[in-house]
């Protein structure tokens, strides 16, 4: 479903994707199947969106953003892609951002260019992400810091003395600021 008040220039949109009113999508953007692109969203040319992605209202997806499957982007999330922005001056290449599968970005968060957000990671509402976020990390604050580790369903793993335990009883440890199965 593409709302009659949307301005869609691309024909690369997967089956079952809903695009609501006042959305603008440029000609080279690629959008997967079963996505939900809410009203008041802007998507530039060099943007790739996987399947089953939700983009809430007030989000702009700039050149260089890649979004894998099953990602949630909350309302008014801000992405940047130019480290030294100047009016009418453009870099040879814009910074890239990668949101890996099953990542969730909370409302009003800001994601700086050059950052990757890992699989099953969650960025808390209003957070400022300046560095890569490891798989399964829960990050909050400005700048965002890791405050916990997550199960597949987004709930927090249980912290034990020297390890974490997921919802299936699997043990995990932290190595080099990343979570690793034991």
CA atoms within 13 A on the CB side of 155: 8
Compute φ and ψ for 85, nearest 5 degrees.
-70, 135
Rounded Cα distance, 94 and 59, in Å:
18
Rounded-to-integer distance, Cα 25 and Cα 44, Å: 6
The continuous run of DSSP H or E covering 164 comes out as strand 164-165
Give 134's contacts (C-beta < 8 A, 6+ positions apart): 118, 121, 146, 177, 178, 179
d(CA 182, CA 179) in angstroms, rounded, equals: 10
Cα–Cα distance for residue pair 57/74, rounded to 1 Å: 8
Taking only the tens of pLDDT, the chain with its 182 residues reads: 899 999 999 999 999 999 999 999 999 999 999 999 999 999 999 999 999 999 999 999 999 999 999 999 999 999 999 999 999 998 989 999 999 999 999 999 999 999 999 999 999 999 999 999 999 999 999 999 999 999 999 999 999 988 999 999 999 999 888 899 88
- What's the sign of the alpha-carbon dihedral 161, 163, 164, 165? negative
Confirm if 119 and 100 have CB atoms less than 8 A apart: yes
Reported pTM: 0.94
């Amino acid at each position: 479903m593409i709302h009659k008040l949307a301005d869609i220039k691309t024909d690369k949109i997967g089956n079952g994707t809903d695009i609501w009113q006042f959305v603008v999508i440029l000609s080279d953007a690629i959008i997967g199947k079963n996505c939900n692109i809410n009203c008041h969203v802007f998507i530039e040319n060099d943007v790739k969106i996987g399947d089953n992605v939700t983009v809430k209202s007030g989000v702009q997806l700039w050149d260089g953003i890649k979004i894998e499957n099953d990602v949630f982007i909350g309302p008014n999330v801000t992405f940047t892609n130019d480290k030294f922005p100047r009016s009418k001056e453009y870099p040879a290449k814009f910074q890239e951002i990668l949101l890996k599968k099953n990542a969730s970005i909370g409302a009003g968060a800001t994601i700086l260019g050059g950052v990757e957000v890992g699989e099953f990671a969650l960025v808390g509402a209003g957070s400022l992400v300046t560095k890569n976020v490891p798989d399964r990390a829960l990050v909050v604050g400005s700048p965002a810091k890791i405050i916990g580790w997550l199960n597949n369903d987004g709930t927090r793993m249980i912290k034990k003395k020297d390890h974490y335990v997921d919802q299936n009883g699997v043990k995990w440890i932290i190595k080099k600021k990343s979570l690793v199965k034991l």
